[in-house]
Amino acid sequence: MIHVLRLQNVPIFEQLQLEEALLRLDTRNWCILNEGSSRAIVLGVSGKEEELVDLPKAKKKNIPLIKRFSGGGTVIVDENTVFVTFICQKDLHDFPPFPEKILQWSSAFYKESLGLSEFALQENDYTLGLLKCGGNAQYLRKDRWLHHTTFLWDFENTNMDYLLHPKKTPKYREKRSHLDFLCRLKPLIPSKELMISKILRGLQSRYPTVNVPIGDVFPIIRQPHRKSTHYVA
């Protein structure tokens, strides 16, 4: 059974807090979908903001910087971003719960569910051809794992001005700038709602699912637990 939590325009900071609580305190399998967020820059737990973000530009526009509890790279998100997160018990699938195996499973799921022939996994990214359309991060525990994806359904070109060229990049990027390296899903999937519905249909064709209202998870969030997601001062 996978429990589905569908959100709309929930700020990414609140979404990450919710995910961290469900990962640490709950034992159910989850798929969390969120259509859009207020603008923010999100860094992996070990990301160094001075190396990844044009801090003066971000500060001038009051764009918040967030450190999530998982690894992965840096992304700027806004109302045109689509977020999908899986939180699973390790015994839900028959593959060993290693990062590469989780990525292979998830990329195959998205390729079929979204119906995109060019959709592929390149290193740790989802791509269309040689252009990145989604970034991933993971968190693995003893009996449980989390895999979350930031899909670039659409984005403002000027948003990329707030991100610096990272020192460490995927080989397939070949030193390209952000705008030469990224692509939008919007030309292939005309609306965020359609994208979400495709993912839900793919999920329902593979697993028993149950929809859960956001109010049902508030008691879990309020329980004491480790909270690593935080704003960067």
Q: Examine the pLDDT at 233 and tell me if it is beyond 90.
A: no
Q: Given a cut of 80, is residue 17 above it in pLDDT?
A: yes
Contact criterion met (CB below 8 Å) for 173 and 181: yes
Q: How much is the pLDDT for 44?
A: 97
CATH 3.10.290.10 fits 2-223, yes or no: no
Q: What confidence tens digit (pLDDT) does each residue in 39-85 have? A: 999 999 999 999 999 999 999 999 999 999 999 999 999 999 999 99
Within a 10 A sphere around the Cβ of 100, how many other Cβ atoms?
A: 11
* pLDDT score at 216: 95
Task: Provide the pLDDT for residue 118.
Answer: 97
Q: What is the pLDDT of residue 11?
A: 98
Q: Which residue, 38, 48, 49, is CA-closest to 77? A: 38
The DSSP output letter for 163 is B
Cβ–Cβ < 8 Å for 12, 35: no
What's the chain's average pLDDT?
97
Query: Residues 87, 88, 94, 96: is their CA dihedral positive or negative?
Result: positive
CA distance 200 to 209: 9
Predicted confidence at residue 201, as pLDDT, reads 98
Query: Domain ranges in the chain?
Result: 2-223
> What is the pLDDT, as a whole number, of residue 120?
98
pLDDT of residue 58: 98
> pLDDT tens, 196-218?
999 999 999 999 999 999 999 99
Contact call for residues 146 and 85 (beta carbons, < 8 A): yes
